């Protein structure tokens, strides 16, 4: 029996590459997976039998309704949703900056704000802030800022949810080959080294949750 056997886990952003990989591995380990996505038509056919709700995670009421539709409290929630944009602060349009913060920062805050009501005592909430929350990257200023805001929310939530015995895991994985850079809201990605495979990252995340880790910085990952 695996750690995740019969545990109920919600994956937010399960239609993305990393969200899909997390969902796939959790299912293989016997978890009861439910998903929250922005657009249900984008979810992989192999997950069509899973209980799925749609939500705009930047809207707290929308996210709360999605959790309610899934019907119960859960052993854990993993937030793998996120958006990216490239360009200097002078270049990235204001509406794109707003969207970055709405999804990456506000979406994380919304997930954390609902954690105590949807996660069982002793459960976990994990969210991908990424290595950019820790570094300053030219040409990715607004994106880095949105992720840094999410990181701070995770840090404070870890203390606030301690009394509920809910573990908060901040995942600051290095660049991962999810294809997100090719779906930027604005601009073109700078030249990047080859990133980690989604499978490696997903397995490391689940290993950290199993062992009760509370922080997963970039140096905790390996190819």
**Locate tokens 């854990």: which residue?**
76
Q: What per-residue confidence (pLDDT) applies to 1?
A: 79
What token pair was written down for 121?
Answer: 């005592």
| Protein fold of 8-220 | Rossmann fold (3.40.50)
Q: φ and ψ at 26, to 5 degrees? A: -60, -45
CB neighbours of residue 90 within 10 Å: 6
pLDDT digits (tens, 9 = 90+) for 129-186: 999 999 999 999 999 999 999 999 999 999 999 999 999 999 999 999 999 988 999 9
pLDDT digits (tens, 9 = 90+) for 9-53: 999 999 999 999 999 999 999 999 999 999 999 999 999 999 999
- Give domain limits for the chain: 8-220
Give one word for 130, left, alpha or beta, with left for phi > 0 and alpha for psi -120 to 50. left
H or E element, residue 60: helix 60-70
For the chain, the straight-line distance linking the first and the last C-alpha, in angstroms and rounded, comes to 27
What token pair was written down for 75?
Answer: 């052993």
CB neighbours of residue 31 within 10 Å: 23
CB neighbours of residue 127 within 10 Å: 28
Beta strand 119-128 with 74-79 is: parallel
**Residue 213: pLDDT above 80?**
yes
Are 88 and 117 in contact, with CB atoms under 8 Å apart? no
């Amino acid at each position: 029996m695996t750690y995740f056997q019969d545990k109920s886990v919600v994956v937010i952003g399960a239609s993305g590459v990393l969200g899909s990989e997390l969902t796939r591995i959790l299912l293989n380990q016997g978890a009861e997976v439910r998903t929250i996505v922005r657009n249900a038509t984008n979810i992989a056919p192999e997950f069509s039998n899973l209980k799925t709700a749609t939500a705009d995670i930047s809207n707290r009421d929308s996210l709360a309704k999605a959790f309610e539709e899934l019907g119960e409290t859960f052993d854990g929630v993993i937030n793998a949703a996120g958006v990216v944009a490239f360009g200097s602060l002078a270049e990235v349009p204001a509406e794109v900056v707003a969207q970055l913060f709405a999804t990456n920062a506000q979406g994380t805050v919304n997930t954390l704000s609902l954690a105590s009501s949807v996660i069982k005592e002793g459960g976990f909430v994990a969210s991908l802030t990424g290595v950019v929350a820790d570094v300053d990257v030219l040409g990715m200023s607004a994106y880095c800022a949105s992720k840094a805001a999410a990181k701070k929310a995770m840090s404070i939530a870890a203390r606030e949810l301690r009394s509920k015995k809910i573990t908060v895991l901040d995942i600051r994985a290095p660049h991962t080959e999810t294809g997100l850079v090719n779906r930027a809201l604005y601009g073109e990605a700078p030249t990047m080294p080859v990133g980690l495979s989604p499978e490696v990252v997903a397995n490391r995340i689940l290993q950290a949750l199993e062992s009760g880790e509370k922080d997963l910085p970039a140096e905790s990952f390996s190819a």
